């Protein structure tokens, strides 16, 4: 790789690098030549991911015909619930170009109904902590005038349903927050991409029956959709694509009918 090429290699920070989706995106980005910074809370799981991606980065470099022996993958251990640590984390990562948010929890809805603390914890992880990191990163990117924020929310945030409205509320709030950020950062040349996946076969959904199978996607398929949308400068992407139409219908069912359904 020539020096000029090296200077143009983008750096991507994966926030939630031990997630199945984060790993799939990291594998595809490193294959495309990105430098990576991987962040997650579990040090031993993160080490496994870093080792895997480091090996792949060497293979990707060789595939591209370079004599370099791979790119060093940086990593940072952080529990994103700890908002008091966010300034320090952002100081470590803010020099990168692209920030990809992949962490989250899928709370047990009946437990959230019985116990406010469970709902509050889900809101904190899925919305408050992400909004805190996004606020800090947005200020850096706005000042610099380039970069991107890629944030995974969910189709569950498009309409409240009894089966998962606590998770849906947190993801819906995050989608709205990203919409406002996008409006604010557009004039600064910063891309904010909201990703709304439907069902993905990952550890998060291991307890859910995978039927009908046609509605389920692999982490690799969703990762490819996200990277494609990012490259094309999109604002919002549903993955797989058909969820856009499913949610269009769901959003347009009148409330007096919708409230009696069991979706």
Ligand X SMILES: NC(=O)c1ccc[n+]([C@@H]2O[C@H](COP(=O)([O-])OP(=O)(O)OC[C@H]3O[C@@H](n4cnc5c(N)ncnc54)[C@H](OP(=O)(O)O)[C@@H]3O)[C@@H](O)[C@H]2O)c1
Binding site for ligand X (CB under 6 A): 16, 18-21, 40-42, 45, 79-81, 102-105, 125, 152, 154, 197, 199-200, 202-205
Residue closer to ligand X (CB basis): 165 or 199: 199
Nearer to ligand X, 104 or 147 (CB): 104
CA dist 14 and 159 (Å) reads 28
CB of 22 to ligand X, least distance (A): 6
**Minimum Å distance from CB 21 to ligand X?**
4
Q: Do 135 and 91 meet the contact criterion of CB atoms below 8 Å apart? A: no
Judged by CB, which is closer to ligand X: 201, or 235?
201
Strand, coil or helix: 78:
coil
**Beta-sheet strands, E only, within the chain:** 11-15, 35-40, 74-77, 98-101, 148-152, 191-197, 199-200, 216-217, 236-239
Q: How far is the CB of 174 from ligand X (least distance, A)?
A: 9
Burial class (CB in 10 A: 0-12, 13-18, 19+), 262: exposed
User: What is the 8-class DSSP label of residue 155?
Assistant: G
State which residue, 21 or 90, has the beta carbon closest to ligand X.
21
Give the angle subtended at the CA of 168 by the CAs of 255 and 222, to the nearest 5°.
115
CB of 60 to ligand X, least distance (A): 22
Q: How far is the CB of 79 from ligand X (least distance, A)?
A: 5
Residue number, 141 or 152, with CB nearest to ligand X: 152
């Amino acid at each position: 790789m020539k020096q000029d090429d090296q200077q143009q290699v983008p750096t991507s920070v994966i926030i939630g690098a031990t997630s199945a989706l984060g790993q799939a995106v990291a594998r595809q980005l490193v294959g495309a030549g990105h430098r990576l910074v991987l962040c997650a809370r579990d040090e031993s799981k993160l080490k496994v991911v870093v080792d895997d991606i480091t090996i792949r980065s060497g293979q990707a470099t060789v595939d591209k015909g370079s004599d370099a022996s791979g790119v060093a993958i940086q990593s940072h251990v952080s529990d994103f619930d700890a908002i008091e640590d966010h300034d320090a984390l952002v100081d470590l990562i803010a020099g990168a170009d692209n920030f990809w948010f992949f962490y989250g929890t899928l709370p047990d809805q009946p437990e959230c109904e019985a116990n406010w603390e469970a709902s509050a914890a889900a809101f904190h992880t899925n919305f408050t902590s992400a909004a805190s990191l996004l606020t800090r990163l947005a200020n850096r990117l706005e000042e610099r005038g380039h970069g991107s924020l890629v944030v995974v929310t969910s189709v569950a945030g498009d309409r409240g349903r009894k089966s998962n409205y606590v998770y849906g509320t947190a993801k819906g709030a995050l989608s709205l927050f990203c919409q406002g950020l996008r409006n604010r950062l557009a004039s600064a040349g910063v891309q904010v991409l909201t990703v709304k996946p439907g069902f993905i076969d990952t550890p998060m959904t291991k307890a859910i029956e995978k039927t009908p199978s046609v509605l389920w996607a692999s982490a690799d398929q969703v990762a490819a959709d996200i990277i494609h949308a990012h490259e094309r400068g999109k604002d919002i992407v549903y993955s797989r694509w058909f969820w856009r139409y499913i949610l269009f219908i769901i959003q347009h069912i009148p409330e007096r009918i919708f409230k009696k359904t069991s979706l």
